[in-house]
Structure 1
Amino acid sequence: MKEHHLNDIQLPEYSLRCHKSGVTASTFVEWPSRSSVPILITGDSSGLIVLWDLIVRRPLVTHTLAGGAQVVAMQDLGDGLIAILSKDHKLRLLEMTAKEMKSLAECTTSFEAPQQQLHEIYEVPVNTLNFANFVLQKLNKGFYRLICTNTQDSEAIDVYQFHLSNVHSLQRVFRGVTFGGVIQKLATDPESVKARKLGIVMRFLEHQETIYCGFESGLVVGFKIHDLDCERTNIDEDADRNHNTCIEIVYVSSVHYPEPVLALELNDATGEILTSSTKDVVGIHPPISTQGAIGCQSNFFHDQASSVLIRRDLKICGTNFKKVPASSIGYLAVVNGNLVASSWSGITYVLSPDYRVLVTMSKSRPNVFVSDSSQGSLQGANEEKTQKRHIKVSSLTGISPAVIQRFSSLDHQLTRWQGQNRRMRAFAAKSWCIIGYDDGSIAVHQI
């Protein structure tokens, strides 16, 4: 991709239209075993969820949450299963069966109106009073682990475990976990003083069984959940014998302190975790080296009240960051090695691996200024025009060619008509950035 001038705005290849309110969450789902086409799922502030066929560029399925609750976040769990967090304080697991997915594929080839729907198969109460999303981990034998904010305290974390086949299987493994106290025990690290009060939980992200948590204070904490029985640890024998799991803090960074962490994103190519805040920098967090079992308790500080451990020799990172052309980056995505960053101003930047601006994207409001005052106002009008010139970005998703090419198998080609196969090849040869806006529109950009 060639470098553009910073003021050059790239227009989208096309737009997706179905939502009438702000698009608040989106994700690209990888269901190649059930679907012959790549699917984008979006949710909006009125509770509408839409499954899109990105090849024919139209909705496949629509589903509205009970009560029209705003969609906050979503996570693809694979094979027709998706988790949706909404503003009515519920996490719902929705499924499209294999039979319906097959029927859906037939509809896409015959241009019939789809009749399929998403089925709610599980529900968990979750705190959605703050900015945080959630993380679901697949465990063995059909179990899932949920990491989310505490139901009453947005500065603490809860961990649940459940099985999809049993609606009564929900168990809270950890309740109201906080990290500030145990991090402050790193007395030899002067950065530990910044952990006195971490603030509310802002974002979660999982990578290779490490859960990263960004806080209002600007700290980023990475932790793992260990099964002590499996590891045969000799951690304090006087601790709760029924509590056979513990949380180990394996990474702490104060790169954004004291500004809140707004976004967390994985760079698949490097294994690094990228973070943003209200300043014009992106934090870069290196891959965490593989560590063995917990081992001897003398190597750790231990918060027995919450079963949280931290190695005594852990160092807090604080200076690894890169400058970016805007502050208040609310969304990050990595697409084919390039970083896509959307700011609160409504402008999205595509940055090269060395953080040069390649492309800028935005959606402008109509060029008409309306004053809310009956008397009008000249003072501050220009400033307000600038602030409202671009429509707010409310979701961001990136798609790399390698992901799309998984849909290029012979079996999938046989289930698509010839025009679809041609479009699929063209789509799979490019990288894509999909931006959801506060006015309900979705812009699909080639990058």
Structure 2
Amino acid sequence: MATTSIAAARPPAQPTAILRGHRAQVHAAVFARLDRAASSDETMTADTRLVTGDSDGYVVLWDLAIVRARGVWRAHQNSILGIAAWDDAGQIVTHGRDHKLVVWQVGVADEVRLSAVLPLDQESKTSSKESHPQPWMVHVLDVNTMNFCAFAWCGLVGSVAAVTTAAPTSTDTQLTTTNGPPTERLVAVPNTLTLEAADIYHLPSQRRINTVRLGTKEGMIMALALFYAPVSEPTDDSQRTLVLIAAFENGVVVLALLRQGADGPAEIIYRAQPHSQPILSLDVAPDCSYFLTSAADAVIAKHPIRVPAVKKTATAAPAPPRPSAPVGPSPPPPAGKTVSLLSAALAKEAALSPSPSSSSAPPKGTAPSAPIEVETQPLTIINTKHAGQQGIRIRDDGRLFATAGWDARVRVYAAQTMKEVAVLKWHQTGCFTVAFAPVVRPDTEGEGNNTAAKPTEGPSAGNTTTTLATRSTRRDISVKERRLRHAVTAHWLAVGSKDGKVSLWDIF
């Protein structure tokens, strides 16, 4: 009884900061590193930004240390469906309803070129490129955005190159796999003509390399995921398999494997329908062992990711020659008995033909295996009693996940038990997106959560990345350094709402 009264007396949690700048609804948010070194494995440094996009096509880079905008530009002429960050070189990807997917080159040095005037501070909604200059466009891809589904992407294992066929009059191309640098990407978006199909594009070639049909009468694709997952029962020669997940309008979820690469055939191994309403969002666990889906109904479902291994056999050796069928002229017929020419020819053909056992031998390469049984049961299904939970995201340590609700509340759950652990309420209108900041790893964490990054060998003049590990050991740190350290080490949760505001929460 006393515990209940104490819990009831606690004031509700409040956001650490409110980011006001968008004039329209905030549809996408992600935490991104602007200058990630190739050999650096830190999760967050002083060049970490919160990137948000709204329904007018504007993108804002928020500096977490000063809680101010560092850069603003109009990325699309229509609503932004999704935003992601490449793993290297500070590239940000935006997907808009103007049928464009653009890869932007945004670094700390590029921020000086960008305008800091927020869309809310403009006198009118229309803004020219002169007042809001855009960053450098690395790639521009024409894609389908008729069904409001955001893109999915992953790095390419190996590389895909276009090779012209040997025929001089043919313009067809085929795909070959090489061991190039890991700078190539795969992008998945819904197909333009077929509702139940997804297109896979290759960057930087900007070519569509595959169209995967994942259903027949499921309706539009509402959410996609594309990633490489390890096999459930690894063997000596097993490799990571490309996985494509699609969530449909009728509540069906389909998981398909592309074992032969992004341009190969797809094999469906999981199909379930835990939702009765259109699925709004899905997210994959950091260890690729499961994924979560949320929909317009009150259900949150946890689905398995089990990639069965394919057993391979050695190449069949050529069969030894049969001693009973010597090659050479046929023996002479017995004396006193005549043999027709037809009988002699049939006898010779029978002697040279292989035995029935050798003719039914399996072909070279992979042995034929029985078809894999399609799974249909999710791991866990919970009824939250709150319809319309959108923008589901799992934190990178795999401990928590959160959903943005149409009832203006953000709910945080424990990933292992699927239990609700917190309800965050500040916005007065519906929430559309949530984003977790990367948490500090235990091996890079110091006492009292004081270190957020490993020391670097001297910061450059053009880079604002600060070595926090060495400065955090001093007790007489300045207010600026304390603010910067908190901005890096805090477990941020960003929430984008219909009111155009972004709330920033520091959660456990």
TM-score for both structures, normalised by structure 2: 0.64
- Whole-angstrom CA distance in 2 between matches of 1:349 and 1:445: 12
Tell me the amino acid that sits aligned with residue 173 of structure 1: I
Shift in CA distance, 314/56, structure 1 to aligned 2, threshold 3 Å: same
- Whole-angstrom CA distance in 2 between matches of 1:297 and 1:130: 41
Shift in CA distance, 422/32, structure 1 to aligned 2, threshold 3 Å: farther
Tell me the amino acid that sits aligned with residue 347 of structure 1: R
Matched, 1:133 2:169: no
- Whole-angstrom CA distance in 1 between matches of 2:265 and 2:367: 12
Match in the other structure for 2:297: 279
Match in the other structure for 1:203: 223
Matched, 1:83 2:93: yes
The alpha-carbon deviation at position 338 of structure 1 amounts to: 2.3
Match in the other structure for 1:351: 413
Shift in CA distance, 269/173, structure 1 to aligned 2, threshold 3 Å: closer
The alpha-carbon deviation at position 344 of structure 1 amounts to: 1.6
Tell me the amino acid that sits aligned with residue 128 of structure 1: T
Match in the other structure for 2:252: 219
2:74–2:134 contact (8 Å) kept in structure 1 = no
Aligned pairs for 1:8-27 within 5 A: 9-27=12-30
1:56–1:420 contact (8 Å) kept in structure 2 = no
Shift in CA distance, 427/152, structure 1 to aligned 2, threshold 3 Å: same
**Pick from 368, 386, 403: which aligns with 1:326?**
386
- 1:259-295 deviation digits (Å, cap 9, x = unpaired): 3221112333683211112332211112324534797
Bigger strand fraction: 1
Question: May I ask how many residue pairs the two structures share in their alignment?
Answer: 364
1:61–1:117 contact (8 Å) kept in structure 2 = no
Match in the other structure for 1:391: 429
- Whole-angstrom CA distance in 1 between matches of 2:144 and 2:10: 41
Aligned pairs for 1:368-387 within 5 A: none
Identity %: 21
**Pick from 197, 205, 227: which aligns with 1:156?**
197
Matched, 1:118 2:118: no
- Whole-angstrom CA distance in 1 between matches of 2:83 and 2:145: 13
**Pick from 440, 454, 469: which aligns with 1:409?**
454
Shift in CA distance, 266/4, structure 1 to aligned 2, threshold 3 Å: farther
1:324–1:355 contact (8 Å) kept in structure 2 = no
Match in the other structure for 1:252: 271
Shift in CA distance, 9/262, structure 1 to aligned 2, threshold 3 Å: farther
Q: What's the C-alpha RMSD, in Å, of the aligned pairs?
A: 3.4
The alpha-carbon deviation at position 58 of structure 1 amounts to: 0.9
- 1:180-205 deviation digits (Å, cap 9, x = unpaired): 3xxxxxxxxxxxxxxx5221101012
1:401–1:429 contact (8 Å) kept in structure 2 = yes
Tell me the amino acid that sits aligned with residue 213 of structure 2: T
Shift in CA distance, 155/217, structure 1 to aligned 2, threshold 3 Å: same
- Whole-angstrom CA distance in 1 between matches of 2:84 and 2:387: 27
2:304–2:379 contact (8 Å) kept in structure 1 = no
Shift in CA distance, 244/281, structure 1 to aligned 2, threshold 3 Å: closer
Tell me the amino acid that sits aligned with residue 81 of structure 1: Q
1:37–1:55 contact (8 Å) kept in structure 2 = no
Match in the other structure for 2:105: 95
**Pick from 339, 363, 381: which aligns with 2:426?**
363
The alpha-carbon deviation at position 22 of structure 1 amounts to: 1.1
Match in the other structure for 1:237: none
Shift in CA distance, 427/162, structure 1 to aligned 2, threshold 3 Å: closer
**Pick from 263, 282, 300: which aligns with 2:281?**
263
Shift in CA distance, 213/325, structure 1 to aligned 2, threshold 3 Å: same
- Whole-angstrom CA distance in 2 between matches of 1:334 and 1:16: 22
SS in 2 for 1:413: coil
The alpha-carbon deviation at position 348 of structure 1 amounts to: 1.1
2:33–2:47 contact (8 Å) kept in structure 1 = no
**Pick from 200, 206, 212: which aligns with 1:170?**
206
Question: For structure 1, which segment, 139-148 or 12-21, has the greater mean C-alpha deviation from structure 2 after superposition?
Answer: 139-148
Stretches of structure 1 that go unaligned for 5 or more consecutive residues are 108-114, 164-168, 181-195, 229-242, 301-310, 365-389
2:47–2:108 contact (8 Å) kept in structure 1 = no
2:188–2:226 contact (8 Å) kept in structure 1 = no
Shift in CA distance, 320/251, structure 1 to aligned 2, threshold 3 Å: same
Shift in CA distance, 252/17, structure 1 to aligned 2, threshold 3 Å: same
Tell me the amino acid that sits aligned with residue 199 of structure 1: G
SS in 1 for 2:484: helix
**Pick from 54, 72, 85: which aligns with 1:44?**
54
1:205–1:265 contact (8 Å) kept in structure 2 = yes
The alpha-carbon deviation at position 393 of structure 1 amounts to: 0.8
1:4–1:357 contact (8 Å) kept in structure 2 = no
Match in the other structure for 2:505: 445
Stretches of structure 2 that go unaligned for 5 or more consecutive residues are 38-44, 117-131, 160-179, 229-241, 313-364, 446-450, 457-464, 472-476
